[in-house]
Amino acid sequence: MFSKSSIIGVIGSGAMGSGIAQVAATANHSVKIFDSNPLALSKAENQLKASLAKLVEKQKIDSVKADQTVNNIQFSNNLSDLKDCDLIIEAIVENLAVKKDVFSQLGNICSDKCVFASNTSSLSIASIASACKDASRVLGIHFFNPATLMPLVEIIPGISSNQEIVYQCKLLVDSWGKQTVIAKDTPGFIVNRVARPFYSEALRIYEEGIADIPTIDWAMKEIGGFKMGPFELMDLIGHDVNYIVTETVWTQLYFDPKFKPALSQKRLLEGGLLGRKSGKGFYDYAENAKNPEPTKNLDLGKLIVSRILVMLINEAADTLYLKVANAADIDLAMTKGVNYPKGLLKWADEYGIPNVVKELNGLREFYEEDRYRMSPMLKQKFLTKTTFH
Per-residue model confidence as pLDDT tens digits over 90-116: 999 988 999 999 999 999 999 999 999
Q: In the predicted model, what is the mean pLDDT of residues 162-169?
A: 97
Q: Do the beta carbons of residue 73 and residue 21 sit within 8 Å?
A: yes
Residue 275's pLDDT is 97
Residue 13's pLDDT is 95
Residue 46's pLDDT is 94
* Helix runs in 141-182, H state only: 163-175
**Catalytic status, residue 142:** yes
154, pLDDT greater than 90: yes
Tell me which residue of 2, 177, 166, 170 sits closest to 86, measured CA to CA: 2
Residue 350's pLDDT is 98
The number of beta carbons lying within 10 Å of the beta carbon of residue 276 is 14
* Fold classification of 7-182 (topology level): Rossmann fold (3.40.50)
Average pLDDT score, the chain = 96
181 band by pLDDT with thresholds 50, 70 and 90: very high
Considering 18, 192, 314, 375, which one is annotated as catalytic?
Answer: 192
Residue 108's pLDDT is 92
Report the C-alpha gap between 203 and 337 in whole angstroms. Answer: 22
**Catalytic status, residue 121:** yes
Considering 18, 118, 124, 154, which one is annotated as catalytic?
Answer: 154
What per-residue string of b and e applies to 225-264 under the rule 16 or more CB within 10 Å gives b?
Answer: ebebbbbbbbbebbbebbbbbbbbbbebbeeeebbbbbee
1, pLDDT greater than 90: no
| Domain spans of the chain, in order of start | 7-182, 193-384
Q: Are strands 73-76 and 87-90 parallel, antiparallel or unpaired?
A: unpaired
Considering 121, 122, 200, 314, which one is annotated as catalytic?
Answer: 121
Which one is the CATH code of 193-384: 2.60.120.560, 2.60.40.420, 1.10.357.10, 1.10.1040.50? 1.10.1040.50
Per-residue model confidence as pLDDT tens digits over 341-351: 999 999 999 99
Per-residue model confidence as pLDDT tens digits over 134-151: 999 999 999 998 999 999
382, pLDDT greater than 90: yes
Instruction: Tell the burial category of 196 from Cβ atoms under 10 Å away from its Cβ (0-12, 13-18, 19+).
Output: buried
Residue 384's pLDDT is 98
Fold matches, 7-182 and 193-384 = no
User: 164 by DSSP, 3-state: which?
Assistant: helix
Q: Do the beta carbons of residue 90 and residue 114 sit within 8 Å?
A: no
Percent with pLDDT over 90 in the chain: 97
Considering 18, 90, 142, 201, which one is annotated as catalytic?
Answer: 142
Residue 122's pLDDT is 81
337, pLDDT greater than 90: yes
Report the C-alpha gap between 149 and 347 in whole angstroms. Answer: 25
Q: In the predicted model, what is the mean pLDDT of residues 74-79?
A: 96
